[in-house]
Amino acid sequence: MIDFEFEPQALKQTLMYHTVAERMMRPISREYDEREHEHPWDFWRTMWSASQNLGPAASGAEKPSKGAAGAANGAPKLRNLYTCLSTEELCWGDAGLFLSIPNPGLGGAAVAAAGTPEQKARFLKRFGEGEPKWGAMAITEPGCGSDSAAVTTTATRDGDHWVINGTKIFCTAGQMSAEKSEGFVVVWATVDRGAGRAGIKPFVVDHHTPGMTVVRVENKLGIRASDTAMIVFDNCRVPADHLLGSAEVKPTGGFKDVMATFDATRPIVAAMAIGVGRAALDFVRDYLTEHQVPIRYGISPRRLTAIERDFMDMEAHLKAARLLTWRAAWMLDMGMRNSLEASMAKAKAGRAVTLITQKAVEILGPIGYSRKVLVEKWMRDAKINDIFEGTQQINLMIIARRILDYSSKELN
């Protein structure tokens, strides 16, 4: 049975994250939106220091615990659900700054999903010590976006090393992971073109590895405080034991590890969207209250004004997305397969935040479209949640396949 009555400690931490969002992120939100490629080092160092004090679970890179057994081993029983709570609060502050915070990121999620116990300990240990560092995942290519199974980057075995060749784009925190810290980039490459999806394997490429070059950092519509990089791998040699998991090509392997990573990260992206949507909704509510425009609950819909109907619709979308997200995260914490639920949460939240932020700009009129307030920024930040970690269309297709029990060949 799903129970979302949170423990006092979780509620206390949620309040702490909200304080960080309100007092540390909001004041610099506009500044680092406009100064896209400059780095908020004071904020980063503070967040890094806090994560070290909170312990390894704060990194979000550990393997999800499985129910009571996980809790008995000392891991938080609802770690993924609590991560969604903290993510919502921090993205209420600023989604771009949230994505820029030093942590294992998508690279750490890939290690947790596909790595051996020894690899998880080896690669994730570094995020519990030293200076701020980042992890990134490189999967999208210039000719391969939504169809992640079509990657053309290759990894060829050469003695005790793998040699990686290819180009990756839209790598979140790619520059910070590859060049600016002692982090790593997890690169998905094919070891056997003839094997199709089964031949795709993840490789950990350490920072400053020869042959890995950040050739461009994107200028973006939103989440501008977070770097998004294009990385070229030119005869990039990595040790053989940097291949996560087994090198054996099996029909059930390869791409399955990619999907396992997304099952863990899509609820977090959904929580990001909810945080941005809540920021816009809160602002509109306060603005209407300030201007003595009431929102009357409990009366006939026919008596509601257009603004009241729009506002209640925004609230309903946000609450539905939040419940779907919590369910997907809770299932992961319980060791249950959540592929369907993760895609449902991601699809709903991505669509909801786009609708909510656009409607917020519309309701506020000229001030909503101006740069005097952050609402127009939230509308720009919102759209990425409907794109990365699987576009709206891809997630809807996954949902249809899971519900109808169709294969990708039967429904594409």
Active site residues: 389
Q: Do 215 and 232 form a contact (C-beta atoms < 8 A)?
A: yes
Q: Do 301 and 316 form a contact (C-beta atoms < 8 A)?
A: no
Q: In angstroms, how far is CA 93 from the centroid of its own chain? A: 16
DSSP code at position 22: I
Residue 360: name the closest of 349, 368, 371, 350 by CA.
368
Do you know the residue count of the chain?
412
CA distance linking residue 282 with residue 261, whole number of Å: 32
DSSP class per residue in 26-90: HHHHHHHHHSTTS--HHHHHHHHHHHHHH-GGGGS-SPPP-HHHHHHTTS-TTHHHHHHHHHHHH
The pairing of strands 212-217 and 184-190 is unpaired
Helix or strand or coil: residue 3? coil
**What does the radius of gyration of the chain's CA atoms come to, in whole angstroms?**
21
CA distance linking residue 71 with residue 392, whole number of Å: 34
Q: Do 16 and 90 form a contact (C-beta atoms < 8 A)?
A: no
Q: Which residue type is seen at 29? A: S
DSSP code at position 393: H
CB atoms within 10 A of CB 163: 18
Q: Which residue type is seen at 406? A: Y
Q: Which residue has the tokens 């949230």?
A: 98
Q: In angstroms, how far is CA 357 from the centroid of its own chain? A: 19
